[in-house]
Structure 1
Amino acid sequence: MSQQGAALQTYNNELVKCIEELCFKRDELNRQIQKEEEEKSRLQHDIHVLTEKLSRVNESLARRLTARADFDRTIAETEAAYMKILESSQTLLSVLKKEAGNLGKATEPRGKGH
């Protein structure tokens, strides 16, 4: 009977050792799970912060793009108006020179060449 008792004691010791080993592995796994859950939480927070920041940047970018389009439109309209002013100035100068020439002829003494 003592052999059976010794065998039973050996089995019991191995069984306890296996249970302790399983508990150790479970505890290690729990630490890893907790670490990954913390990382997941941190990443979700970072995603939330970055999503809000992206939204603000997109809104700002949209406003700036609209403002730039307004600048482009104003510049184009101003340049077109300026070109019309230049064309009108050139026409006015031509007319003025022609009229000045005509006035100069009208004021010349008449018998000079005759």
Structure 2
Amino acid sequence: MTQQGAALQTYNNELVKCIEELCFKRDELNRQIQQEEEEKSRLQHDIRILTEKLSRVNESLARRLAARADFDRTIAETEAAYMKILRALRHYSVC
């Protein structure tokens, strides 16, 4: 019976060792999960900040593009009027 008791004790020790190893692996996995959750949270925060920043830049860019278009139109109209004045002056000079 002592042989069976010794075998039982060996199995018991091995089982305890396996459980301890599983607990260690679980704890390590929990640590990794926590790190990734923290990284995910940081990344989501960064995405929110960058999305807001992108929105502001897009709005500013749209305003600037519209202002540039206004300048382009004003310049084109002014150049056209100036060319008419020059042609009129040449016409009167020739006559």
Fold match, TM over 0.5? yes
Post-superposition offset of 1:45: 0.5
TM superposition score normalised by structure 2: 0.89
State the number of aligned residues: 86
| 1:42-89 CA-partner distances (Å, limit 9, x unpaired) | 000011000000000000000000000000000000001111111xxx
Shift >4 Å, 4+ stretches: none
| 1:22-59 CA-partner distances (Å, limit 9, x unpaired) | 00000000000000000000000011000000000000
Give me the whole-angstrom Cα distance separating, in 2, the residues matched to 1:83 and 1:15. 98
2:76 equivalent in structure 1: 76
Larger Rg: 1
| Larger relative helix fraction | 2
1:38 equivalent in structure 2: 38
Give me the whole-angstrom Cα distance separating, in 2, the residues matched to 1:25 and 1:83. 83
Unaligned runs of 5+ in 1: 87-114
Unaligned runs of 5+ in 2: 87-95
Q: How well do the aligned residues superpose, as a CA RMSD in angstroms?
A: 0.4
Task: Within 5 Å, give how 1:2-21 maps onto structure 2.
Answer: 2-21=2-21
TM superposition score normalised by structure 1: 0.75
Give me the whole-angstrom Cα distance separating, in 2, the residues matched to 1:85 and 1:57. 41
